[in-house]
Structure 1
Amino acid sequence: MADDTPSWAAAAADYSSSKNKGGSSRQIASAGGHRDDVADRTAMVSARLKQIYKKSVYPVEKRHRYDFFYESPFLTDVEFDSKPQIMLIGQYSVGKTSFIRYLLGRDFPGQRIGPEPTTDRFTVLINGPEERTIPGNALSVHPDLPFRGLERFGVSFLSRFEGSQLPSSVLKSVTLIDTPGIL
């Protein structure tokens, strides 16, 4: 594994030095050329982590039956290649759903906004060609989405989990998760 470290460390060092030269992430995101550079570096680091997992970690997990002991499936390419996920957590009626609505610039399927606790489920917002709501059990078995591991929480959780698909430029690069309020 020592032979894997230098290239990964170099990638991290390159990212760190470019971050110091390039300014804040907001400045990088607003400058078109830098955004592509950040996306390329992120993809490179993700690909390298996937390679390290498959070469070094997965064989150990398989040999020691980690999936049986921990009751968790092995990581798949979909989980490494998925977009970053941002989960909004907070007390009820503090504006989590309204904040998502503001970010997207529009309403989304399944949103519930009001003074009383209204969001009663976990809602994953994903980019797609049409507006629709997707049941949680369908999300957990979809081969292109990274939610397969949620099956282990059972039907009661999956019935309180849903997807909201809609066309959105924001959701092309990130997945948002709206949560019920915490009392």
Structure 2
Amino acid sequence: MTDITRVLGDITEQHVDAVVNAANSSLLGGGGVDGAIHRRGGPEILAECRRLRASRYGRGLPTGQAVATTAGRLPARWVIHTVGPVHTEEEDRSALLASCYRESLRVAAELGAATVAFPAVSTGVYRWPLADAARIAVRAVRETSRAGDFTELRFVLFDPRAYEAFGEALGEATA
């Protein structure tokens, strides 16, 4: 049985096999979680991302997909980069957001990762409403984790609002 947990904290400090990065399609770093992972992980992550751009992902990583690199100086073995969708009222992109989590877990399983830490994908500059993003993330992780050999899947939330939203989605009391 896979343990699905949540913590209030910094994803760059998680001692897990794989950390999921809420990347932009360029894979070359950015703001928010992406910038923090690249800064703390060091140049090794960027170097691998540049190699991916020069080979398989010349046009960038498509939304909803995932790819792994080294974790560089992070206390993890790998970084799994996924590109979340930008939220819009005009189009339902929920399937793309769910795909970020499913594809990240597929990549993690291929790597042999037993512990994975996720951020709240698309809830920053991509403006996905927290409660909805949490519901989609938790459902996707619960459904996908049944097929893998994971011991812990951890949502790492940077602020109390996100922590509470994921607690509600997990069915936990938020104190």
Higher RCO structure (Cα 8 Å, ≥6 apart) = 2
Q: Which has the higher helix share?
A: 1
Task: Name the TM-score, length of structure 2 as normaliser.
Answer: 0.30
More strand by share: 2
- Larger Rg over CA atoms: 1
